[in-house]
Amino acid sequence: MGFYQSEPFDTAKASFVQRPDGFGVFLVEVQGNAPNYTTGITLVRDPHWVGGLKIDVMGWTGPLGQGTTPYVVRGSFPGQYVPKIIVSGSNGDRVVPVEAIPAEQSDSYVQRLAG
């Protein structure tokens, strides 16, 4: 039986794609090595965090096996720009700088990511 829990991560990066009205969406990517056997790793916004954006790296782990498996997970979160966000995993919290993408460059930026 698996348990829904915080998962470890190695790196995180974030960008903010701005709309003309100043609001937009945070695009967050996290990479790491999850314990075997982990599935369903997702990025979840912490609803209790005040004053910015905190993302929890969550997944289903169990039964435990030897070794780890690399993963990459991405998520998007609406909001208003802040220069730094917090990413939290079982191995700690990290402050991640946010790359701001102006509204006039947002279409080409998103196409580059999708391409």
Structure confidence by residue, pLDDT tens digits, 10-56: 999 999 999 988 799 999 999 999 999 999 999 999 999 998 999 99
Quick one: pLDDT at residue 21?
86
Of 100 and 110, more confident: 100
pTM reported for the whole predicted model: 0.94
| Cα–Cα dist 75/13, whole Å | 11
Tell whether the model's pLDDT for residue 93 goes beyond 90: yes
Q: What is the number of other CB atoms lying within 10 angstroms of the CB of residue 64?
A: 11
SS3 assignment, position 82? coil
pLDDT over threshold 80, residue 1: no
Residue 56 CB-half CA count within 13 A = 12
Q: In the chain, what percentage of residues exceed pLDDT 90?
A: 83
Question: What residues does each domain of the chain span?
Answer: 3-97
